[in-house]
Structure 1
Amino acid sequence: MKNKETALCFPCSFPLKVMGLNSEAFTTAVHAILRNHLVESGISCTRRLSSGDKYLSLTVTFLAESKDQVDAIYRELNSHEQVLMTL
């Protein structure tokens, strides 16, 4: 169903980029937050380090069921101290 507030039709495959310091704490925090909102078997994740290996970018693709679900994930990720930025 197409949401009136967005150009997306749900359910849809949704890519989410999360950036933080290159640490196990960052990766663990992101995966824990995603498990709160998603079925783990439907999540794919790719990792990319910055040129100096200080930062890590995770691109997570999942099946988004609704705008509310996506908004809740963004809110929780952005409120976590390990997360520097989301796109």
Structure 2
Amino acid sequence: MSELQDPPKIEFPCDYPIKVLGRDKPEFRPTVLAVFERHAPGFDSETIVVKGSSKGTFMSLTITITATGPEQLKALHEELMASGLVQMVI
């Protein structure tokens, strides 16, 4: 029986893409961007990928930040989910 391996460790700082999915409402994008600006100031807004669902109900934003550590990622995730506009963070 082989031993389970630990998942690979992320080395910080690193480029870290985060996909945020929520309902396509006017306040979704500015709210998400404000949260990212608080937790990852100076991220490159030119690299944001925006996709809408086929029926226009949902929107996803993929934003790449320079992640500084697990605490930053946890705080970012918690604030996004607490906004009430975000369905999922991948």
State the TM bucket, normalised to the shorter chain. Answer: 0.7 to 0.9
Distance 1:6 1:70 in 2: 17
User: CA 1:41–1:62 in 2, change beyond 3 Å: closer, same or farther?
Assistant: closer
Q: 1:41 deviation in Å?
A: 4.3
CA radius of gyration, larger in: 2
TM-score (structure 1 length as normaliser): 0.86
User: CA 1:24–1:75 in 2, change beyond 3 Å: closer, same or farther?
Assistant: same
> Could you tell me which of 44, 53, 57 is aligned with 1:54?
57
TM-score (structure 2 length as normaliser): 0.83
Residue correspondence of structure 1 range 1-87 to structure 2 within 5 A: 7-43=9-45, 44-87=47-90
Q: Which runs of 4+ in 1 moved over 4 A?
A: none
> Identical aligned pairs, as a percentage?
29
Distance 2:69 2:38 in 1: 15
Runs (5+) with no aligned partner, structure 1: none
Runs (5+) with no aligned partner, structure 2: 1-6
C-alpha RMSD of matched pairs (Å):
1.9
